[in-house]
Structure 1
Amino acid sequence: MSDWKLAKRSARYLKDTKSLKLVMQVSVKSGDEVAIESWSDADFADDKDNMKSATRVVEAIDGAVVQWVCKKQTDVALSTMEVGFTSTSHVGRELLGLQELMRELGFRVVQPVPMKTDNQAAIKHLEPKQSIASAKYVNFRVKFICDYARKPIIKPEYMESRLMMAVW
């Protein structure tokens, strides 16, 4: 992505989010129950130079944003579903690490942890009764998230793009 396009995108983001605030407050003590939630969005073939997609993630603990990520995916995806799988896989790994950190600090984590995304195809294939056998081209490294969605450690939930906290 060219510098000019990146500058324009950043300016659009700032214009569209000028009414939002970042609020950080500590109101929990060790032993308390905390709620973790996440929002993820992915743009299919976002970078027109190499056709790689982008993943954007926001994670919060009890409403306080603790992580905000925008990362180019390492592989060129073949479909929006694959982009969604890669994005949810990234979010899932982050959520598992965040849950473990909170437990090590003595907090109880509300389960399952909601993982909001706007990719309905990826969500459908993460549901317990669905098979992802038809999506064989999706790399095995992203399929592990299905296991956590089926346990209920992580719960994928649909959210419209326009409501997504992770959308720029």
Structure 2
Amino acid sequence: MHEKKDAIKDDGVLVVAYSDADYAADKTDRKSVSGGVLMVAGMVVGWLCKKQKCVALSTMEAEFVAASQTAAEMMGIIELLKEIGVSVQPDSTLHVDNQAAIAQIKGEDTSGRAKHIDVRLKFVKDLETKKMLKVQYCESKGMRADILTKTLPAPRLSQLRGLVMLSG
């Protein structure tokens, strides 16, 4: 995990994002919910929480859709920072807590299950290939986006609120 002290350096600010999905969350149509937390220099600057447009056939697919949505938002923030003259560190990171989704992005798994989300797969894979971001595994206990996708017990909610710096 990146600490605040690493978030601002001479070579710019660090952009970090966390993505998560709640698989088949809606009981009426079984569409999943995507969640994403976007941070610049250790501070939350954006988030997303929305129902996915397609029905995912597996947890991996739901997580992958969430990762691609979060990556798109992340690229928007990076472009905005550059437009206003803020330097961005080259090691921007998208944290994902599903190793099957990461394997798809990194090309280690060629399972045909993800063909219907192939465009999203290629989008994130292209960003990583061009070194615009790196995708990294994040253990569930550090997954900040869980606050947007799960019903949580009070201690876990309090812990996540602390990670995303929300008071209340």
Q: Report the secondary structure of 2:24's partner residue.
A: coil
How many residue pairs get aligned? The number is: 139
Q: Which residue of 1 aligns with 2:18?
A: 39
1:149 to 109, 121, 128: 128
Q: Which is higher, the Rg of structure 1 or of structure 2? A: 1
Q: Which residue of 2 aligns with 1:14?
A: none
1:134 to 83, 93, 112: 112
Q: Which residue of 2 aligns with 1:163?
A: 142
| 1:154/1:161 CA distance change after superposition, 3 Å | same
Is 1:64 aligned with 2:50? no
Is 1:84 aligned with 2:63? yes
After TM superposition, give the deviation of residue 130 of structure 1 in Å: 2.7
Letter in 2 for 1:33: G
Check the 8 A contact 1:126/1:150 in 2, yes or no.
Answer: no
Q: Deviations over 1:42-68 (max 9, x none)?
A: 111011111000111110110111012
Q: Structure 2, unaligned stretches of length 5 or more?
A: 1-7, 148-168
Q: Which residue of 1 aligns with 2:74?
A: 95
Q: Deviations over 1:21-48 (max 9, x none)?
A: xxxxxxx8xx971111011111110111
Structure 1 segments, 4+ long, off by >4 Å, are none
Q: Which has the higher helix share?
A: 2
TM-score with structure 1 length normalisation?
A: 0.75
Q: Report the secondary structure of 1:152's partner residue.
A: coil
TM-score with structure 2 length normalisation?
A: 0.75
Amino-acid identity (%): 37
Q: Structure 1, unaligned stretches of length 5 or more?
A: 1-27
